[in-house]
Amino acid sequence: MARISVFGIGYVGVVSAACLAKDGHTVIAVDVDPGKIKSINDGLSPIVENGLDALIAEVVAAGKLTATNDVQYAIDNSDASFVAVGTPSAPDGSVGLTYVEGVCRNIGAALANKSSFHSVIIRSTIVPGSCEATCIPVLEKASGKVAGTDFGMGYYPEFLRESTAIEDYYDPGLIVFGALDKKTGDFLTALNTGLNCKIHVVDLRTAEMVKYTSNTWRAVKVTFANEIGNIAKASGLDGQTVMEILCSDEKVAMSKYFMRPGFAFGGSCLPKDVRALRYLANSTGTNAHLLNAVIEANEAQIQRAEAMVEASGAAKVGFVGISFKPGTDDLRESPLAELAARLIAKGVEVGIYDPYVFEAYAANNSTAGRGNDVIPDLKDRMVEDLDHLIGDSGAILVGNFYKNTVGSLEKAAQTRPVLDLTRMKRDMVSEGQYQGICW
């Protein structure tokens, strides 16, 4: 078993650290946030994710997972480091490498004091060429050592989906990594041996590009389905029926999950990665018509939902769901959060029912409301009881699907506008008080 340090106790970092510890590895999680460090060391999850609370409690109790802010300690007591910090978009749309550079600089300084071989493996989402142009030079300058010779270097992207991250970790659909040196490549191969998935070993740039291609492809599919849905509805047709027939062709290599007309895409990956890939294309003089259209069309889908709310005439709107995806408390670039913020700015009163975001606040998680930078007084807008939200709202906007809400929402559509962005029931189409965004 290996000794591994994981830098960044965010979504990817904490899930990876917990699963590595579950597999028997000794793991040190590293972060600058004292709240996250305390949560881990107390055996608690700093985020809301299915199954993560119990998993962290188990591996911390077993002594397999600890957390610290001491970089030198983490490097001295591990043989490989995963870098899993965020890469938010820079103001010009390019990938933001500030956090990655900072961590690489700190790791490099610690490597300068270590004589034994150590592998540095980037898991953060970075555009092709970032390892070679940014990470390696920073590590080499800070350490005084040569990548691939004096220390190992690899890029190992993750493909975890929020709300199903632990399941995805043990049953991956894709494994790909690049390594400068044999030791790092052998380490990553051994780490993934036994999983029911082909291991793709490539160069660093290809591994970086696969990650962006994967995320951008998902973004393109969401937008494509929405456009078909909008056109179909305007023609008196059901967009979801059209797409279901298309998806019945099982020979087409696509995920049906994204091929459902509905609301805009959001989250911590798709929006920023489309922006970054578009910036990369422009920087190489390559036309990126579709990437430009993806961003434009996704914004138009938010405007479409905004127009639906305005057409309802409601002075108070109850949101069912505010996170970017059901089953998570993550609000990073949530289109629902953006929609709510726009309505609030126009004087519309907004109440919110979202069991996962509410849970995070109720548990006083240090990361409650994580990713929200647009909704004022979010905590005060949260409503625990759905029926209370319905009774107190002039219109209901269904943003995320929660099975236990369907009965109440279907009944509500008999007395007030119910605007559905996710399709709570397959047999419901726009009629009377009920309006679906694409059906």
Q: What is the pLDDT of residue 286?
A: 87
Which tens digits make up the pLDDT trace of 21-63? Answer: 999 999 999 999 999 999 999 999 999 999 999 999 999 999 9
Residue 84 pLDDT more than 70?
yes
Q: Which long-range contacts (CB under 8 A, 24 or more apart) does 284-291 make?
A: 290/220, 291/216
Tokens 């390696």 -> residue: 136
Per-residue b or e along 386-400, where b marks 16 or more CB atoms closer than 10 Å to that residue's CB = beebbeebebbbbbb
Q: How confident is the model at residue 249 (pLDDT cuts 50, 70, 90)?
A: confident
List the catalytic residues: 269
**β 152-155/175-179 pair status:** antiparallel
145 carries a ligand binding annotation? no
Tell whether 370 is in a known binding site: no
The Cα 212–Cα 217 span in angstroms is: 8
Q: Return the beta strands (E) in 54-114 as ranges.
A: 65-68, 80-83
DSSP class of residue 258? G
Whether residue 98 is predicted with pLDDT greater than 80 in this model: the reply is yes
Asked if residue 243 belongs to a known ligand binding site, the reply is: no
Confidence of residue 253 (pLDDT cuts 50, 70, 90): very low
- Coil, helix or strand at residue 68: strand
208 annotated binding-site participant: no
258 is in an annotated binding site: yes
Mean pLDDT in residue range 401-417: 97
What is the rounded CA–CA span in Å between residue 326 and residue 336? 11
Position 252 scores a pLDDT of: 56
Q: Which residue would you say has higher pLDDT here, 333 or 283?
A: 333
| 3-state DSSP assignment of residue 84 | coil
Using one digit for the tens of pLDDT, what is the confidence trace for 160-214?
A: 999 999 999 999 999 999 999 999 999 999 999 999 999 999 999 999 999 999 9
Q: Compute, in degrees rounded to 10, the torsion defined by CA atoms 112, 139, 192, 116.
A: -20
pTM over 0.85, yes/no = no
Pick the range with the lowest mean pLDDT from 101-110, 288-297, 306-315. Answer: 288-297
Model pLDDT, residue 184: 98
- The 10s digit of each residue's pLDDT in 337-368 is 999 999 999 999 999 999 999 999 999 999 99
Per-residue pLDDT, 259: 73
Q: Identify residue 244 by its one-letter amino acid code.
A: E
407 is in an annotated binding site: no
Region 322-327: mean pLDDT is 96
Q: What share of the chain has pLDDT > 90, as a percent?
A: 88
Q: What is the pLDDT of residue 256?
A: 73
Query: What is the pLDDT of the chain when averaged over all its residues?
Result: 95
**Average of pLDDT values for 153-164?**
96
> Does 261 appear as a known binding residue?
yes
Tens digits of residue pLDDT in 210-247 = 999 999 989 988 998 888 898 999 999 999 998 899 88
Give residue 224's identity as a one-letter amino acid code: F
Whether the pLDDT of residue 267 is over 90: the answer is yes
- Answer yes or no: is 271 a known binding residue: no
Q: Is the pLDDT at 2 greater than 60, yes or no?
A: yes
